[in-house]
Copies of this chain bind each other. A is one copy, B any other.
Amino acid sequence: MTATTLDAYTDRYARRVGDMEGFDVRTLFSTTLAADVVSLAGGAPFVAALPLDAIGEMLGTLGSRDGATSLQYSGGQGDLKLRERICELMTLVGIDVSCGASPDDVVVTVGGQHALDLVARVFLDPGDVVLAEGPTYVGALRVLQSAEANVVHVPMDDDGIIPAALAEALSTVARAGGRTKFLYTQPTYHNPAGVTLCERRREEILAIAERAGLLVVEDDPYSLLGFDGETPPALRSRRRAGVLYVGTFSKTFAPGFRIGWALAPHAVRDKLVTASEAQMLCPSMFAQSAVARYFDTMPWREQLKTFRAIYRDRRDALLTALTDLMPAGSRWTRPRGGFYVWLTLPEGVDSADLLPAAIAAGVTYVPGRAFYADGSGRSQVRLSYSLPSPERIREGVRRLASVVGRETQLPRHRHAVLSRG
Please give the residue numbers on chain A whose beta carbons come within 8 Å of chain B beta carbons, in ascending order.
1, 3, 6-10, 12-17, 20-21, 26, 29-30, 42, 44-45, 47-48, 50, 52-53, 55-65, 67-68, 70-76, 110-111, 113-114, 117, 121-125, 128, 139, 142-143, 145-146, 181, 210, 213, 215, 241-242, 250, 254-258, 265, 267-268, 271, 274-275, 277-287, 290
Contacts and interface: CB of A to CB of B under 8 A. Distances in A.
Copies per complex of this chain? 2
A256 B76 contact: no
B55 A63 contact: yes
A72 B143 CA distance: 22
A76 B26 contact: yes
B72 A255 contact: yes
A121 B279 CA distance: 10
Contacts of A267: 6-10
A116 to B, nearest CB: 9
Given A21-B274, A52-B63, A114-B279, 15 more contacts: A1-B242, A10-B267, A12-B181, A12-B215, A14-B121, A20-B278, A44-B73, A47-B71, A48-B67, A55-B71, A110-B110, A145-B278, A255-B285, A256-B286, A286-B287
Contacts of A58: 63
A12 B67 CA distance: 42
A75 B26 CA distance: 9
23 contacts: A1-B210, A13-B123, A26-B277, A47-B67, A48-B68, A52-B71, A55-B63, A59-B59, A59-B62, A60-B63, A71-B257, A72-B254, A73-B255, A110-B283, A113-B281, A114-B279, A117-B280, A139-B278, A139-B281, A146-B278, A146-B279, A256-B286, A286-B290
Contact of A279 (B45, B63, B113, B286): B113
A256 B72 contact: yes
Nearest to A124: B14
Nearest to A179: B12
A10 B213 CA distance: 13
Contacts of A3: 241
Contacts of A117: 278-280
A62 B44 CA distance: 19
B44 A67 contact: no
Nearest to A288: B256
Contact of A71 (B30, B50, B64): B50
A274 B20 contact: yes
Contacts of A64: 52-53, 55-57
By Cβ-Cβ distance, the 8 closest A-B pairs, closest first, are A56-B64, A60-B60, A56-B63, A7-B267, A71-B256, A71-B254, A52-B67, A142-B278
